[in-house]
Amino acid sequence: MSFALKTIVLTGASAGIGRSLSISLAQQGAHLVLAARNQEALEETLAACTKQGGKAIAVPTDVTQPEACQRLIEEAISAFGQIDVLVNNAGISMLTRFDEVTDLSIFEQVMQVNYLGAVYCTHYALPYLKANRGLLVAISSVCGKTAVPTRTGYVASKHAMQGFFDTLRIELRGSGVDVLVVSPGFVATEIRQRALGANGQPLGQSPRDESKGNMSVGECVHQIVWAMERRKREHIMTLKGKVTPWGKLLLPELVDRIAAYAARATTATQK
């Protein structure tokens, strides 16, 4: 699939993976509809895409609001007349043990952004994707495949996202619309700094050393574009992510112990 002159709607475009992916697609001559809550940062992404030669518009959007998602799709059609690709990338995280949570609204916030935001945008974009035999992309996580301690709400939202798009893929058989679920591992973005803590407030710092062991944003985006070009059904980026589902089937207790050990190691480096 070539993205030249294709209209691509991309949520979470103001930072991290979304921003870099937008710029990469602009370099290929895509028509971009950029969405995020932070208007100032979104305008910076817009300027970067335009500088690369792509046509783009910025539509400030809170994906937790169905009306905002509907308006996003309407703006895309008004500007470019069609939608060829929808990339559901908007996301937030959480980092705390469940028994330490003091603000249960964390779970609503994470589910609304990561899961329901994707549902809303997909609902309004789907008729146009069907008309153009387009591509649906969900930027999920290896957390959508397995349990990760201290991320109960995030893991639940990514499991929901995985289940939704896997089911939708079956429903769309024969429609010409392909569904791609992308599952990165740890990527060197600011998502963990912005993750919600036990009190519902952003942590402000990552418990991980972001300079070690994390995939670069550039490599992550390269793999996403590669999978999009081939209209794959799924792309898991790490060996651990590929092996873990099989491990859960064959040696579930061992997988649990490994996950618990990794969580303790992360906590130890934070202290």
- Could you give the residue numbers annotated as active site? 154
Q: What is the DSSP string of 152-208?
A: HHHHHHHHHHHHHHHHHHHHTTTSS-EEEEEE--SBSSSTTTS-B-TTSSB-SS-SS
DSSP assigned state of 143? G
Is the CB of residue 18 less than 8 Å from the CB of residue 138? Answer: no
The strands making up 178-183's β-sheet, listed across from edge to edge, are 55-60, 31-36, 7-11, 85-88, 135-139, 178-183, 234-236
Residues in CB range of 99: below 8 A, 6 or more apart: none
d(CA 56, CA 50): 7
d(CA 73, CA 227): 24
Where in 39-168 does DSSP place strands (E)? 55-60, 85-88, 135-139
